[in-house]
Structure 1
Amino acid sequence: DEEGHVYFIFTNQELINLFNCSEHKVIKIKAELKSAGLLLQKQMGFNPKTKKNEPNRLYLSKLDVKATDVYLRGEYGQKEPKTLDTSGTAKNAVPQETV
């Protein structure tokens, strides 16, 4: 931006497509990140040159992270992948037509 800060631009529709969720969920996630101090939004408003509302600029907050706050990926949690249980019947499947 004008002050040398890095920002990114995603419209709500782009975030909906990216995360495969509803607009309500996108708005809720952005509000939670903002309230946690992790995301700042700058509203750009109407651009008279393009005659369109410009999408908000999204800024990530500077994080104060120490080496003790970070762990190696894979160090915790599930060690081996598990297969899905495919036994039983599909309760939500579309009924098959019989002839």
Structure 2
Amino acid sequence: ALNAALAGAPAHRELSWTDGAGLTAAVHRTAGPARRLAAELAEAVAQLLTDPRVGEVRRCEAEGCVLLFLPAHPRRRWCVASVCGNRARVARYYARHKEAGA
């Protein structure tokens, strides 16, 4: 299925000159929006599956979060620290203060 999605919108690089940046190579796909999106997603999955660190993929520890992530640091616990991590820290804070006030 991944190979079919990748083949449905093949990518090619197009070189262009830009002011300041010099020569750039942008990736272009020649297909409709749905096929381009499927190919982009299939490419991301293929890159993840072939990454040597695929065994390090973790489930987010936040309650109710279903996301998986590849941690940049071994102690990382949440998919997005500013969202899931913040919710967990706030929940711990309220739990501590609720116990202290009771």
TM-score, normalised to structure 2, is 0.26
Between structure 1 and structure 2, the one with the greater Rg is: 1
Whichever structure has more strand as a proportion of its residues is 2
Which structure has the higher relative contact order (CA within 8 Å, separation 6+)? Answer: 1
TM-score norm. by structure 1 comes to 0.26
